[in-house]
């Protein structure tokens, strides 16, 4: 007879009980951990923000947040210097707003684009500036444009009326210049 068979019934029961409880606790812990991980992965508790930008020879495009759940798309025409954008109504999937800024070349200090096509970069950033002027707020994106030749850059904002979204009203607005600067004027601290 094997050694494990010689153990009395009460000792076998206690060993089985300890082994069973240990397995049960391990399974419960695994279930809790798996549930927590799947809860994190489903995105219900996460706020994700993503923006992208790309450019061709004569046009740059970038996306960025406008308001909660609403994304904007922005276009920079290298030929005219015109910055424009739009958003889609999340309920109807129709254009809800159009944004325009006449000419970024003036702000970047580019005097004459007829001689040489400027090399520009465009990107979006996030802002939480809610009060702007006259009860209007700014959209969540700031649009940055930089001239790679001079290093000059400009930042633009989009006035945004959240109430107009609730009315399904088209919001044509002029973008506003928030500020300018030069990347080459930035000095490192020692």
pLDDT tens-digit readout, 73-124:
999 998 889 999 988 777 777 777 688 998 999 999 987 776 677 889 999 9
Let me know whether 21 and 61 are in one domain.
no
Let me know whether 69 and 35 are in one domain.
no
Residue 131: inside a domain, yes or no? yes
Residue 152: inside a domain, yes or no? yes
Let me know whether 79 and 152 are in one domain.
yes
Let me know whether 40 and 74 are in one domain.
no
pLDDT top residue among 49 and 181: 181
Q: Which domain holds residue 41?
A: 1-46
Taking residues 34-39, report their average pLDDT.
56
Residue 71 to residues 50, 128, 129, Cα–Cα distance (Å): 9, 15, 17
Let me know whether 42 and 57 are in one domain.
no
What token pair was written down for 169? 């009203």
pLDDT of residue 129: 74
75 vs 70: CA distance, rounded Å: 17
What token pair was written down for 47? 């706020």
Let me know whether 39 and 124 are in one domain.
no
What token pair was written down for 6? 């010689």
Using CA of residue 106, residue 109, residue 112, residue 114, what is the dihedral sign?
negative
């Amino acid at each position: 007879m094997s050694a494990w068979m010689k153990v009395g019934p009460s000792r076998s029961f206690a060993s089985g009980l300890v082994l069973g409880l240990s397995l049960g606790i391990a399974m419960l812990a695994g279930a809790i951990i798996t549930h927590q991980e799947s809860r994190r992965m489903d995105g219900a508790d996460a706020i994700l923000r993503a923006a992208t930008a790309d450019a061709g020879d004569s046009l740059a495009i970038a996306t960025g947040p406008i308001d909660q759940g609403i994304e904007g798309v922005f276009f920079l025409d290298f030929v005219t210097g015109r910055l424009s954008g739009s958003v889609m109504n999340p309920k109807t999937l129709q254009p809800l707003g159009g944004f325009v800024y006449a000419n970024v070349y003036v702000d970047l200090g580019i005097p004459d684009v007829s001689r040489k096509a400027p090399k520009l970069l465009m990107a979006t950033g996030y802002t939480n500036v809610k009060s702007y002027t006259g009860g209007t707020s700014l959209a969540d994106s700031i649009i940055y444009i930089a001239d790679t030749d001079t290093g000059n850059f400009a930042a633009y904002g989009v006035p945004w009326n959240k109430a107009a979204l609730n009315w399904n009203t088209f919001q044509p607005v002029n973008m506003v210049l928030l500020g300018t600067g030069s990347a080459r004027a930035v000095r490192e601290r020692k």
